[in-house]
Amino acid sequence: MRRSTLDAVNVLPGPGWASYEVETALTVPQDPTGAAFFDVDNTMMRGASIYYFARGLAARRFFSARDLARFAWGQLKFRVGGTEDHEDIEGAKQAALGFVAGRRVDELTAICEEIFDELMAHRIWSGTRALAQLHLDRGQRVWLVTAAPAELGSIISRRLGLTGALGTEAEVRDGVYTGRLTTDLLHGPAKPLAIAKLAAAEGLDLSHCTAYSDSHNDVPMLSCVGQAVAVNPDSELRRVARREGWEIRDFRTVRKAARISLPVVLGTGVAVAAVALAIRHSRRRKL
C-alpha cells in the first residue's frame, strides 16, 4: 500500500517541516519517463554525509585523527573555494581509498548501516523528503546523486524508500576493496554524465526530469534536466537560480539560513577538526 506524502514525512520528523508548502506549491508532471535526482549533502540531509561517514569510521579506529584532519582540509579547500586542485583531489581520493583498502564489502556495508542510524537518520530534511515522496507518489523514480561512496548513497536511498543512488564507485575483487576507484569522484561535471548514462539505460527523458541541489558546484547537474530546484541554496546558487528562473526551496529557519549562508562546509571543517581533537584527547586519557 502506497504511503501518503504526510505519512512518509512522519517517518522522519525534524527541522525543516514543510510538507504543506511542498504539496501546495510544487507541481510534478505525471510522466513515467520523468525522474528526480537529489544531491545529498545539505539537500537531502543537514551536513555532509562523507563527514558523518568519516566520523563513524574514526570512532571505529579505521584511521587516525591526523588522517581525518587532512581529509577535512582537502574537502574544505574544495567546497569553500569552489575550485579543484588536482593534487588535493588526488590526495583526498587516495586517503579515502586507504581507509577501505583490504576491507570486505559486507563489513563496510554493515558499518554504513550503523553510521546512518547513529549519525544521519535524524538529520534528513523532512521538506526535501516530502519532495522526493511527491515524485514517488506520481510513479516517478528517485535517485540520489552524491560524491560519497556508492554504498553509503545506496543505504541512504534504501532507508528513505527511494529508487537508488549514483555515487563514487570503488573497485572490488572477491568481495574486498582493492584501494582503487573504477570511476572518478562523482561531483561537479561528472554528475550530469552519470545521470545521462542512467537516463539512457532507464528510458528517461531528461527534459521531463527534475534535479535538486544546495550547491553552485551542482549547476551542471541542475542544468541537464528540464526542471531545476535549488534546495537550501548557497549564496552563489541562489543568484544563479534567480537568474535562470529556477525554483528555490529553503527548509531552514531564518536564523539557520543566515548562519548556513556562510560557506557551509566551513562549519563541517570545524566540526571535523573538533572530532579529531576529541579522538586525540580520548587517546591521551587512555595513556
Any idea which residues carry the catalytic annotation? Answer: 39, 41
Number of Cβ within 10 Å of residue 5's Cβ equals 19
> Burial letters for 167-185: b for 16+ Cβ neighbours within 10 Å, e otherwise?
bbbbeeeeebbebebeebb
Rg, the chain, Cα only: 19
Question: Which set of grid coordinates corresponds to residue 179?
Answer: 584501494
- The alpha helices in the chain, defined as continuous H runs, are 5-11, 19-25, 49-59, 65-81, 86-100, 105-115, 126-137, 150-159, 190-202, 219-223, 235-244, 254-260, 264-286
> Burial letters for 218-257: b for 16+ Cβ neighbours within 10 Å, e otherwise?
bbbbbebbebbbbbbbbeebbebbeeeebeebbbbeeeee
Sheet of 210-213: strands edge to edge? Answer: 164-168, 141-149, 35-38, 210-213, 227-231, 247-249
List the one residue out of 163, 191, 201, 197 whose CA is nearest residue 35: 163
* Residue type for position 278: A
Question: Which set of grid coordinates corresponds to residue 16?
Answer: 525543516
